[in-house]
Each structure stands twice: as C-alpha cells, then as structure tokens.
Structure 1
Amino acid sequence: MDSKDEVNYMDYTDWYIDDPVDTALPAELAPCNPIIRVDLFHISAAGASVVVLVFLSFFVKRRWMWRSWCRGAPGLLHPAGLLESDCHRGIAAAVFGVLVCSVCAVAIDSNPLPIGLHYSKETKEYWKIAALLYYPALYYPLLACATVKNKVGYLLGSLLSWLHSGVLIWQKVECPLSQEPYKYYTLLRSLPQFLCLGFLSVVYPVLLLRNGEKSRNSTLHWWQADEYYMDYLRVLLKKRPSKNSARTDQSCISSKVRTLLRSYVYIPMKGFRIPPKLTVSVTVALVTVYQVALLLVVDVVPTLQKMRAGVHEEFSYVLEGFGINLSDKRDEVIRIVKYYFWIVEACYISAITTSCCFTLSMLMRSMVLHRENLLSLYRGDTGKVFNVQRRIRPSQSAIVSWMSFTSYQVAHVALGLSIQLLVFFMCFGLFAFLIVVPILHGRNLFLFKILETMWPFWLALVVVLLIQHVLARFLFLHKDGKTLSITNRRGLYIFTYLFFMFNVLIGSIVAMWRVALTAVYNIIHFCRLDMSLLHRGVECFDPAYRCYVGFLLVEVSHSHPVMKAFCFLLLRSQDLGLSGGDRCKNEEEGIQLMSNLTLAKTARSRRVRARWHLAFTLLRNPILIASRKPDVCPAVDLVSNGELNSSSRHSPDDNLTKSELCEKE
C-alpha cells in the first residue's frame, strides 16, 4: 500500500470516529426565563381555583338555604349539566378543548407537572399520573362558574379566564421559541388554547352584562331548555306534507349529489339540538386532529429538510459502498438524492393532508348519523339503530360508556389519524417511486418490465372475464316482458366448467383486493364510534361501538324532549299561580302548540287531536316505559308506526284479558 492509498484509507476511517457534538444551542433557542414563571403561575392558579370553588360552594348553598343559615353543608358544584339542554355548550366545549391541549403537554413535555418540584426519571411516570388529575382540577372552576348562573359566578369566571389567557399570552410573547422538537412547536400547539381561553374571556363578560340581573329569577335556569323542547314539539306535531307532493325527480344526478353532500355535511334542523355531550365530543375531536397532525408534521418534515440540505459530495461514496450508482458525476448524484428526499417530503405532506381530510369528513358524517339515531330512538324505533328490538334503559355499563364517550373519541381520532398517515404515506411513496418517477425520467422501470413480461396472463384474465359477461348478457339471460330468466343451461354448465381454472386466478386477485379494500375502509372509519368495524352479528365485541350504544341509551332515557316538554308545561302552570280551570285550559293550549296561542276558544277536534298526540308520544317515551301502569303494559309491543308486531297479532293468547297478559309477562 503506497502513501496515497494510506492517506485515503485514513480519511475513510475518520468517518466512523465519534466526534464530540456541539450541544450548545443557538442564541435564539437558548433557555428562556419569562417574568411570570410557569411553576409560579400554576401554584397561584391552583390556589385561586380552590378559593373560587370554596366560595361558590358556600355562596350557592347559603343562598338556597337562606331561611336557616346553618342548615346543610356546602357541596362541590358540578362542572356542567351535560344531560341538560340548558347547559352552555360553548363554555363546556372550550374547557374540554383546553384539557385536550393539556393532555398533549403531559404526554410530550419533559416537565409534565410544572409546579416547581424536582423529580428523577424513575418518578416521572408517577408525576404524569398526578398531572392527569391536576389539569382537570385546575380548569374545574371555569365550568363551575357557568353552572351557578348568577352575577357572582359570571364575574369569577371572567376573572379566571382573563388570568389564564393573559398569562398564557404573556409567556408566549416573551418566549415564543422552544428547543424541541421544533422551535415554533409550543407556539403552534398553544393556538387551540388561545382560542378556547379567548372564547371564555369573551363569553363570561357577555353573560355578566346581559343575564346578570335576570339570573336572579329561578325560572331562567330552565327557560332556554323550555323553548327548545317547545320547538321540538312544534315540529313533531306539525302536519306532515302529503306523499303526492313529494318530488319525483330523485333519480337525477343533481339530486343524488345533493343527497350525498347532505349526508356528510351537518345542517342544523329546526326543532332539534345536538346534546351537549356530543358538542363537546366534536370539539375535542377537532382539537385532537390539529394537535396530532401538528406533532406528526414537526417531528418528520424538519428532519427531512435537514437531511436534504445536508447532502454533500461524500454521500456519493456512501452509496457506492452499498453498490448503488446513480450517476458517474458527483454533482448529479447529489441532485438526484436531494430530488428523492423532496419526493419523500411531498409524499408525507400529501399523506397527512389526505388523512386529515378523511378524518374530518368522517366526523361530519358521524354528526349526521348521531342526529338520525337520536331521532329514531326518540320515536322508539330501536330496530333501525341497533338492528334488534331492545329496551331503552340505563345500566351500569351504559353509565360508564356515557362517562367515557368523549375520551374514547379523542383516543380513536388520534390513533386513527396516525394509522391513516402511515398507510397513505406508503401508498403515495410506492406510487411515486414505482410509477411517476420512472415515467418522468425513463429509467428504473421495474414495475413496467414485470407487467410487460406478464401481459399475456393479464390479457387472458381480462378476455375471460369479458367473455363471461357477454355470454351472460346475450346467451344465458332471457327477458320475457319485465321478468328475467336463465336460458341455455347446457351452455351455461359447459362454460362454467371450462372457465373454472381462470376463475380461480381471478378469485385470487379479488381476494387480495378484498383484503386491501377492507383494511383501507376500516382504517378510514376507525375514528367513528357510531359504527362497528365488525359484522352485525359480532358487533357487541367492538368496545368502541358498545361505548356508543351505552351513550345513546343514557342520553335518550334521561333527555327525552317530549317528556321534558310535558314536565315544563306542568311547572309553568304551577309557577303562574292560576286556578285549576285556567291551568287546565292553558295546559291544553300549550300542548296544542299552534301558531296563535292567544285565541280564547279552541276547536274541540283540535283539542282531542292534541291530547291524542300527547298520549301517544308519552306512551312511546322510553323514560316512562319502566314506570307505566300494568293496564297499558301490552303497549310495549308497539313499533314506531303504531302497529302491533307480527308476534303480537297472531299470538295464541289473543283471547286473554289485559290483566292476564300482564301477569303472564
């Protein structure tokens, strides 16, 4: 070995020496110490939250028990009435959105519980568990202030929201950059937090100014819900248009496109309002999509850009060491490698964009189906939703499912988006490197060479498939008037036998396509809890779908608008302080829900019709089924259209009396 070779040998060995890496951060990424430290703010905010909760508990209990000052003990205020329609959906959704951002901080940040405590790596997981309880307790008063529904609660809510949003904005203005994984990541991650806290900072002062004086009236607590239930009954009892006036041009393309768009776009319906729990679930799902997509982008795209910028001449020697020769010129090799890195980056960005679009479209589709399922269950049509007739009543598992529905939605959206990104990135990458790039540059046509050598095989399969369709259309199918029948059966048997081997090969391709299609379909619909990814017969083994079923059972059994409208009508008649005759008269006029409520006299036929509608809707109400008297227990067998089931019509016990039927059941 001469001296020149020895020098080159020494140069190559220097590549494997672990040189010390300069870990000093640039000046712009140096650790930032804001004036309001994070740990000091969290300690102060936690103390303020505890003081606000204690004050509101004493204030509300003593205001309700004013006659006896020491009677009763103050209790913890509930954060939000998620089963009540008068719950402020915007405040609940905003607070839950802030909680989702806090979950991301706990999972990613090196300091999950920023309260000034120092802990080791061994105890870090325990502090993460404590942080999962700390952040809900920290933002608890932001919800509790809205449930009080008076000036004091709105004032304290305004102060707390201003405190959280002001300190957050101050800290991000002072320290907008972060060290890892991307310098602008913490600032971008805080955008949903800015929006949610900003919304709270505006809503609480508005409630304080507009509803502060009126909130002293206790009837205001249920007045908005009363209006919603009245609107629901107006739409329910409104006269339906005749079937003859319906459109007959439903087969045109424009109507089909319009129907398809309506099935994926949630349009508010008059007389129906999405439950607060669903509003919160959709909000946190959108925040989760943003947080997960942002994390997936900042973890990969900056790294690919650094790798593309760091490609130099020595990289060609590395490729030659693996036997890869892209070109004889070093400059062209560098250009080709950078071009490939750019393709990978473009495929990744396209994959994450496609994943976000599919996830958002699935969430919108879920909103439409949520409304359809709730309306069907309000009518008592359980067979349309669950595919079987079942009783609508809460249970232990249903309550647990209702509690965890929103959390399950967050987890499924995050995991589904990650899986979609992986699958779509692989598909885009294979399509780019096996089809697009070879066609543009005219080299590395491996896939096309394989297809070229196998073209007789593919042509034979296509020809056989076309022959079968042509024979079935013109030889084996006979049309007699409006009916179709099979003819030339002997030829059918002959060609079935002759094409057996070809159909085996076609069936293999169909089987592979079925696996791919099933996988892609389940991956796209993974974020949806309102549909099971399993077959109808085994959908009970899908834990996410079981959670959704339990959620529906609790919502319908405890938030039925017809039952609550009836109760509000009774409460309104009692609060007005009217006599018995006037009260009954007003109840009947309120039940009718006609446009002109000031008429002194109402036709008897309308009154009878309104009473029948009310009786029928209350009879079909799932909440009242368990409390129904035995004399009307056979009405449980009614279906949604008011007719008896086939088993009830032709039962051998038709001649029994109602009491005997009740005893037998």
Structure 2
Amino acid sequence: MKRSAGVTSCIIAVLIVIVAGGTLVAKWSLLQPIHTELVNRYNNDSPLYYESNSICKKIQMQRFNILTFPVACFIILIFILITKRTSLLRKQCPRGIAPPMPVDFLSRIDRKFAAVIFAMCADELFTIVKSIFESASSNSNDSGVIISYLERIFQVLIIGFRYYPLLAAVYLDSIVSLVCGTLYSWLDYSITIVNQGLCNTDFYVTLDQYIRAGNESSLAARFDYYGTGSTLLAIQLCTDIPRYLCLAYVSIKLPFLLIDKIRQRLKRSSMSDKERMMMKLTREERILLRISDPGSPDMLYVRNLFRQTDQRPRSHHLIARLLPKFIYEWRDDFTFSTRILCIYSSIILLLFFITVQACVIILPKLNSFQKSLQSTIDLFSTSSEDGNDDQPVDPATTQFPVPSLQRVYILAVVTTVLLITIQLLTLLANIRRNLFQAFRGDDSEIPRRQRSRYISYSAGNIHFGGYCIGYLIWGFILLAFFAIILWTCVEAFINFGSVRLIETLLKSIIPSLLFIYFKQYLNKLLARYVFLQHGGQVLAINNRRILMIFIYFSLFLDAFLGFISSITRLLLSVFYGIIYMCRLDYSPLGRKLELMDGGFSAYCGYIHTECCHRHPVMLIFASHLFTQFKMNQYKQIEHLGQLSDPDRLMYAQRQKKSLRAIRKWNLGVFLIRNPMIAFFRKAYLKQLDVDDLHALTDLDGDANNRNQRLAIYHRRGSVAELSVIEETNAELHKQQRF
C-alpha cells in the first residue's frame, strides 16, 4: 500500500476532492436561483421554464458549444508546428510538421489520463443520445433524417476537437504542449461550470427546450413526485460528482506534469551522460527500453512461460491479495492496453448517467402510465360478464391486473445494471484469456488468423470501441424492457395471488415442456445403464438390438417433440441474445456463422491486431536488440569522450573504414548460426514471386503452404541450410502428430 500510494498521488487526490467540492458548491449557487424561480412558477400554475442567461448565447450556437472550438483549433495548430514528421512525406515536407497523436491505443502511455478524458467524452455522448430520444419521442424534428444525421456527426467532431488538445499535450510531453494544455483545461473547466449551471441543466427546462417540446414541460410531474424542496437539486449535484471529479483530475494533473517537466529540465546540468542520452530519446524509445526490465509485465510473461501454473510468483498488488481467485485472478504479467481502459471508463460513466436519468425522469411518470396501461389492457379483455366497460375494474376480475409500476421499475433497473455489470466484467476477463490464447496460437475460441481476412481484421479493430458502447446502450434498453415484464408478472402474482391470463398461458406451455424434459431424461438414463458399456464411461454400444428398436420408435415421436423444441430454441436464442447483447466475444449466430456477426468480427479484429503488435515475446526481443544497440552506442560515446581531439579524429576515420566490414562479418556469422533467417531477408524476398511470398509470410498456412515453402527452400537453399530446414520440419511434424 505504501508502494502504490506516493506523496504526489496523495496530493493530487486531495486537490481533486477540494476542486470538485468547490465546483459543486459553485454549481449549487448557480442552480439555487433557477430552482427557486421554477418553484414559484409551479405554485402559481405558470409555465415551468426559465430564461437562460445572456452568456449562454455566446457559449452556444444551435446547441453547440463553440467557445472552446477556436481555442482548441489554435492549440492543435501549435502542436502541428512543433511535431516532427518521422516517416511519411519527409522529402515533400522539409520542415517535418505533422499532426500529433492524441492517444497510442496499443501502448500503455498515460493510460489513466486517457481513460479520464474518455470518461468525460461519455458525458457528451450521453447528451447526444438523450437528445436523439427526446426528438424521437416529441416528433419535433423538422429538419429531416439526413440533416439530423449530419448534425450528430458534427456534434461528435466538436467533441473530438474539444478533447484533442488535452490528450495531445500529454502525449507530446513537452513544456510548450503542457503549458498550452494546462491553460486550455482551466478555460474548458470554467466554461463547463457556467454552461451546465446556467444553460444546460439535466432536470430544469429552459425556454428554448420548452418551445421545442411543444409548450409542454415534465417538470410539474417531477415536482409532484420529489416535492418542491431541495431533493431535485441534491439529485442534480450528486449526478455531477463523477463529472466534476474527472474535470478536476485533468485540470490538476496537467500542472503537475508541467512542474515535473520543468524540474527535469533544470536538473539536466547535473545529469550523467547516460541520463542525458535517455532524455534525448522519444517516449516510444524509452518505453521500448523499459520493456526488458526485470519487473515489466512482458518480461514476467516470458519468465512464466517456463514455469508451472502453481509455481508463478504471487502478485504484489494489494487488490490481488484482497480479490478472491475464483472471481478474478490478478496477474502481474499482463496489463490491459490504453484502449481497453478508455472504453471501460466511457462505459462505466455512461452506464451511471443512463441509470440515474432513467430513474429520475421516468419514475414521476409511472402513475399516469399505469392508469393508461390498465385501461388499455381492460379494453382488450372482458372485465365483467355483462361486458359493461363503464363499471370500475376489480383486480380480481380482470385478466391481467397491473401492479404498482414504481417498485417494478426500480427492481428492473437494478436487475439490468447487475446483469450488464457482470457481463462487462466477464468480457474483461475473456479479453485477457483470448489474448493469452492468441499469444500461444490457440484457436479454440477465436478463429485462426487468415491472410484473406486481414482487411476485415483491420476494419473490425477500428469498430471495436464504438461497437462496445453501442451494444451496451441497446443491451440496456432490451434488458430493462424484458426485466420490467418479468418483474410485473412476479409482482402481480405476489399482490393478487392469481392472474388468469398468465395461468392460462402457463397451462398450455408447462405440459409440453415437462414431456420434452422427461423424454430427454429417459434417453440419458437408458444411454447410461442400457445402451453404453461400463455405465457410459466408454462410447461403445451395448444391447445393439434394443437400441435399434428404440431408435425406430423414437424417430416418429421425436418429430413432434422437435417441433416444440424448435420453438424453445427460438425463444432461448432471443433470451440469451438479449442477455449477451453487450458481450462482443459471444456471437448468438453460432460457430459456423459467427463471422457474419459485426460485433464478433470487430472483437476478432481487435484480438488479432493486439496479438500482432503487443505480443510479449516479440516486444522483449525488440527491446533486447534496441537496448544492446543503445548500450554499444553509449560505450562508443563514452570512449570518444576520453580521447583527445587528434586521437578522436583518427578513431572516427578508422571506425568509418572498418565499420562496413565488421557489419558484414557479424551478418555472416549470424546467418550461419541462423540459416532460416536468410530466407526472410529483403534481398532474398525480392527474387520471389507473389505466390512464394505469400507461402513464406503466411503464419497460419496449411499443409499446402508448408510444402510450397519446402519447395522454395530446395530451389534456392544450400545443402547445409536444407539439412537444418529438414530437421526443423521433421521436428514440427513430430510435434503435430503428438
């Protein structure tokens, strides 16, 4: 616990709580006059809306926050000018300017900061989703489908430009970028407080919103349900706690990063030559060097490859010791990438906002909805024997009496949140398990990588994060709907004891289901004790004559049972498809058709892309080579520093002459010791045609590819190399047969 909680982290945590608390107090002071004005209007039976402040017109234009947009574009332009181009169009662009990378999703650079930023984006995303449902329910959209779609795209782009400078400032990690990011974060924080306190409140209606809703306001129902006290105001402030914690973290973390960067710059004069050389490296190069450290997750993974499962060292994290292994086994040799943390932070905050809004907004409307629903049900059913619909309805005589929907709705929301939380945690564990399987070439769950689907994998990897969020929203809606139906039936049975409509439905379903399960149990019982040898421990037929007679008569009986089972199969597929809607690692289409599922294809693309770019063995190998190269380079610099100027010049000339010969000698020795690598050199691959290249570079090829590779080696390899290759192929065939 002492190792995980440093002094700087504790100071940042205390400052976050102080800043977030002060922000909530400031918002309370802004919302209190609005709440008082609307309560007075409610008591006087006046229209329930408030006129927004004049500053809202400067902040917003057509519901878009455009005040920070020019500042963000200007900061992005500064970042473009200070970013150096490393690979693309270097000759065509001599100055080397390039757009900065906001986040490296395949690495572990600034994962927490990026996750907090994406959690803030979830707040903006929920605002867009909420506006879509409001416009669909009120039918107030007169601009057409295409214009509305373009508006949503423009909103998403505005969100991207709003948070782009914050992410790019931390990724560039320079004094200029951190100064710009700090000033921009403070400006955005101030504007957000004003905007959400005066212009865009969650539960209070402005004049523009009142007009767009057709001069109607649902605030009266909320006042009737929550009262005119400070309950609604307290709910609003409690909803804003995660939002302002994220904003406070960003506005405090950036100044601390800036101070740390300035401190490193001031200490440069007292640094050693090795530390100065490390400072000249890029962040990617420094991270690549750290991969080969003894305590890095990738190095621990490579070490654990040669250990049994029970011989792995215990995790040093406190959460790993507190969390039971049957729930989740915390492992030090694996860390999730930045992308997974960003996706899950967005999902958690989005799920929180959806749950709160679903409870606060819908609960006051359930009483009126229950009356209208009961009247609609009674309209299609016979409420009394004489058929007089004017008489009051007795719950004992109606076909389906509707119970109190408030308790039903709360139970349904709690059930939905619990199911989705369990599914998300299971998905997180399955991502790690599937990545481990992909690392060792196991295709038992994820289909094997194929060269013909590389483009599909890349496209699916791009869709992965967005699909996770979209499937979550749709899964929440479907689960909540069916949970309401289920809890309504349970509540009706508890309150009224008997519901004739449900009883009639169950009387027609239960006998068929009981007969199906009886037949299945009978088949298993006979198979265990009559039709299989050794009590079912061996798949060998016993009593062959009796088995054939039983199959003959079961053929006609199972035809009728199959019709009933097909209906059950359809219902179960719908049921489990709804429960597993937010799980991209599960495809309801089955193993043969799973790649036709867009969500599962996106998941496969993500797994294969992560395996290609984050394989621990590959990273350790690359880090080892890069470390050796930098160490030799440092030794040469250190040796040159000890020489005088004439000796340094002579040494440089001698090194220049002999360097090429040394490289060729080292390359020759390396190829003699590793003859297989000679077939993958650039000069060798240029001599091959396209089919031979595919046969050599295809890692998941079949027997035809292996035979084609062997034919290429026989055509172009030497005798010594072919002997090594044949021995290697023989060993591979032995392992495959084993």
TM-score relative to the length of structure 2: 0.62
1:357 aligns with 2:418: yes
Q: Is the 8 A contact 1:394 1:557 kept in 2?
A: no
Relative to 1, partners in 2 of residues 1:301 and 1:501: Cα closer, same or farther, differing over 3 Å?
farther
Query: Map of 1:563-582 to 2, 5 A cutoff?
Result: 563-575=618-630, 577-579=633-635
Query: Map of 1:254-333 to 2, 5 A cutoff?
Result: 261-262=327-328, 267-307=329-369, 324=383
C-alpha displacement of 1:487:
3.5
Query: Map of 1:117-266 to 2, 5 A cutoff?
Result: 121=143, 126-173=150-197, 177-179=203-205, 192-214=242-264, 217-219=279-281, 221-222=283-284, 223-228=286-291, 230=293, 231-238=296-303, 261-262=327-328
Aligned AA (2:714): T
Q: Is the 8 A contact 1:151 1:213 kept in 2?
A: no
- Please, which of 59, 71, 81 is the counterpart of residue 40 of structure 1? 59
Aligned AA (1:81): D
Query: Map of 1:537-556 to 2, 5 A cutoff?
Result: 537-556=592-611
**Match in the other structure for 1:369:** 430
**Match in the other structure for 2:472:** 413
Q: Is the 8 A contact 1:98 1:192 kept in 2?
A: no
Relative to 1, partners in 2 of residues 1:236 and 1:581: Cα closer, same or farther, differing over 3 Å?
farther
Query: Map of 1:500-515 to 2, 5 A cutoff?
Result: 502-515=557-570
Q: Is the 8 A contact 2:587 2:597 kept in 1?
A: yes
* In 1, Cα distance between equivalents of 2:101 and 2:712: 53
Aligned AA (2:416): S
* In 1, Cα distance between equivalents of 2:513 and 2:635: 87
Deviations for 1:188-209, whole angstroms, at most 9, x for unmatched residues? 7655532332221232123223
The DSSP-based 3-state class of the residue aligned with 2:327 is: helix
Q: Is the 8 A contact 2:120 2:246 kept in 1?
A: yes
1:76 aligns with 2:135: no
1:526 aligns with 2:589: no
Q: Is the 8 A contact 1:80 1:143 kept in 2?
A: yes
Q: Is the 8 A contact 1:316 1:333 kept in 2?
A: no
Relative to 1, partners in 2 of residues 1:144 and 1:430: Cα closer, same or farther, differing over 3 Å?
same
Aligned AA (2:122): V
- Please, which of 124, 129, 139 is the counterpart of residue 102 of structure 1? 124
Structure 1 unpaired stretches of 5+: 1-21, 63-69, 113-118, 248-256, 584-610
C-alpha displacement of 1:467:
5.2
* In 2, Cα distance between equivalents of 1:317 and 1:387: 50
Deviations for 1:301-355, whole angstroms, at most 9, x for unmatched residues? 22104556x89xxx99997998535999999969999x96653333333223222
Relative to 1, partners in 2 of residues 1:542 and 1:629: Cα closer, same or farther, differing over 3 Å?
farther
Deviations for 1:249-290, whole angstroms, at most 9, x for unmatched residues? xxxxxxxx977533xxxx542232212122222222223323
Deviations for 1:441-476, whole angstroms, at most 9, x for unmatched residues? 444445446767999888777766665555444444
Aligned AA (1:416): G
Relative to 1, partners in 2 of residues 1:317 and 1:234: Cα closer, same or farther, differing over 3 Å?
closer
- Please, which of 694, 716, 730 is the counterpart of residue 659 of structure 1? 716
**Match in the other structure for 2:27:** none
* In 2, Cα distance between equivalents of 1:559 and 1:205: 31
Matched positions, count:
566
Aligned AA (1:163): L
Q: Is the 8 A contact 1:57 1:74 kept in 2?
A: yes
TM-score relative to the length of structure 1: 0.68
Aligned AA (2:450): R
1:390 aligns with 2:471: no
Aligned AA (2:163): Y
Q: Is the 8 A contact 1:92 1:280 kept in 2?
A: yes
Aligned AA (1:350): L
Deviations for 1:139-188, whole angstroms, at most 9, x for unmatched residues? 22111211220233223322222222333334445575422666669767
Aligned AA (2:112): G
* In 2, Cα distance between equivalents of 1:321 and 1:559: 61
1:31 aligns with 2:50: yes
The DSSP-based 3-state class of the residue aligned with 1:429 is: helix
* In 2, Cα distance between equivalents of 1:548 and 1:426: 32
The DSSP-based 3-state class of the residue aligned with 2:430 is: helix
Relative to 1, partners in 2 of residues 1:487 and 1:547: Cα closer, same or farther, differing over 3 Å?
closer
Aligned AA (1:53): I
Aligned AA (2:116): A
Q: Is the 8 A contact 2:189 2:251 kept in 1?
A: yes
**Match in the other structure for 2:643:** none
RMSD: 5.2
* In 1, Cα distance between equivalents of 2:570 and 2:483: 16
Relative to 1, partners in 2 of residues 1:660 and 1:385: Cα closer, same or farther, differing over 3 Å?
farther
**Match in the other structure for 2:591:** 536
* In 2, Cα distance between equivalents of 1:395 and 1:490: 53
Aligned AA (1:324): S
Relative to 1, partners in 2 of residues 1:36 and 1:449: Cα closer, same or farther, differing over 3 Å?
closer
